Homo-oligomer: A and B are copies of this chain.
């Protein structure tokens, strides 16, 4: 006997994430009632994962639940916002209990990490597709925008981009490797860690910020363009993980770092004068970020080799309907 939609919601989604005092009414009525924080702007984003587009068919349900929330938390991190509430729209071919249990557990574990309450949602039958909205807060007027950069600002990236893209290729079987390094890369794709705490701290330092979902080169250029600039990245300064280099080699590692996508790291700009204070207050080793270049007046994104020549990356990131 199929589980009814109402029973599904009740059983797997009513108590996802944390309970929050600012939720006046959660799942169960026509809409949620929420109490926004005083002195804050509300920050809202939505993102959708489609099977076969954003994750391979047959991905672990816990990973799908995790990623559906993570991609949205990453958007909030890029604004310097603190997440509060999520809504989930789940379309799936058939409600298998074990799948739902794992999906819900993956979503809920990440929600608890970031003190997020699931306050609304719906389930419907159809091709597997997960749409999540996240709402959060940022002190009024303090959000990090893409547009605040200036030529001369130092550009940083968090983490080690490229890992996730290699992990996806391993998941898809396009890359074959059974080493521990490969297992690490798969994990990085399946369970990305949105940089929420870093985003919040960067409100005191960054002039502009974007999350890296379509590839560092493409997203760095978006930040630069929104700021009326271009961006120059130093190939030798790209932070690539030892695991990535050991699995794909140094050249491919750097190419994936630039163009792979699905990293959910932060790319941010800091005025040169503010860099020493940033380094002192948020030690790069502890907060896992690194300078990779600078904004400049010339538009576009360039990658500079160790011999100072400009490198060409014809595939400049990932665009659903693009080339």
Q: A30-B79, A322-B5 are in contact. Are A46 and B143 (CB under 8 A)?
A: no
Q: In whole angstroms, how far apart are the Cα atoms of A28 and B160 in the complex? A: 26
Bound: A2/B322 CA distance, A:
6
**In the complex, residue of chain B having the shortest beta-carbon distance to the beta carbon of A6:** B319
A78 CB within 8 Å of chain B: yes
* Interface 9-mer from A82-90, A151-159, A241-249: A82-90
Please indicate the chain B residues that have their CB under 8 angstroms from the CB of A43 in the complex. Answer: 31-34
Q: B34 to A44, Cβ gap below 8 A?
A: yes
Contacts of A119 in B (CB 8 A): 44
Does A124 belong to the interface (CB within 8 Å)? yes
Contact B133 A46 (CB under 8 A): yes
Q: Which of A70-107 contact B (CB under 8 A)?
A: 74-76, 78-79, 81, 85, 87-89, 91, 94-95
Which of B41, B91, B122, B135 lies in contact with A35, CB distance below 8 A? B41
- Nearest-Cβ distance from residue A89 to partner chain B, whole angstroms: 4
Question: Is A226's beta carbon under 8 Å from chain B?
Answer: yes
- A1-34 residues with Cβ-Cβ distance < 8 A to B are 2-6, 8, 24-25, 28-34
Q: Are A48 and B87 in contact, with the CB atoms below 8 A?
A: no
- Within A184-207, which residues are at the interface with B (CB < 8 Å)? none
Contact of A124 (CB < 8 Å), options: B50, B78, B140: B50
Nearest Cβ in chain B — how far from A155, in angstroms? 16
The docked-state distance in angstroms from the alpha carbon of A53 to that of B126 is: 7
Q: Is A210 an interface residue (CB 8 A)?
A: yes
Across the interface, name the chain B residue whose C-beta is closest to A71: B122
**Which of the residues B6, B120, B123, B321 comes within 8 Å of A44, measured between beta carbons?**
B120
Q: Which residues of B contact A147 (CB under 8 A)?
A: 29
Known: A2-B322, A35-B41, A322-B4. A29 touches B123 (CB 8 A): no
A4, B321: Cβ atoms under 8 Å? Answer: yes
Q: Does A115 contact B (CB under 8 A)?
A: no
A124 to chain B: closest CB distance in Å? Answer: 5
Which listed residue (B91, B122, B133, B145) contacts A25, Cβ 8 A? B145
A25 to B80, CA, bound (A): 14
B31 touches A44 (CB 8 A): yes
Report whether A131 and B4 are in contact in the complex, using a CB–CB cutoff of 8 Å. Answer: no
- A320 interface residue per 8 A CB criterion: yes
A54 to B122, CA, bound (A): 13
Residues of B within 8 Å of A131, CB to CB, are 46, 48, 89, 131
Q: Which 7 residue pairs are nearest across A and B when measured between Cβ atoms? A: A50-B126, A131-B131, A31-B45, A30-B78, A36-B36, A4-B322, A46-B87
**13 CB-based A-B contacts, threshold 8 Å:** A2-B322, A25-B143, A28-B226, A29-B146, A30-B210, A34-B41, A44-B87, A45-B87, A46-B122, A48-B89, A48-B129, A89-B131, A131-B131
Q: A interface vs B, CB < 8 Å? A: 2-6, 8, 24-25, 28-36, 41-48, 50-54, 74-76, 78-79, 81, 85, 87-89, 91, 94-95, 119-127, 129, 131, 133, 135, 138, 140, 143, 145-147, 209-211, 226, 319-323
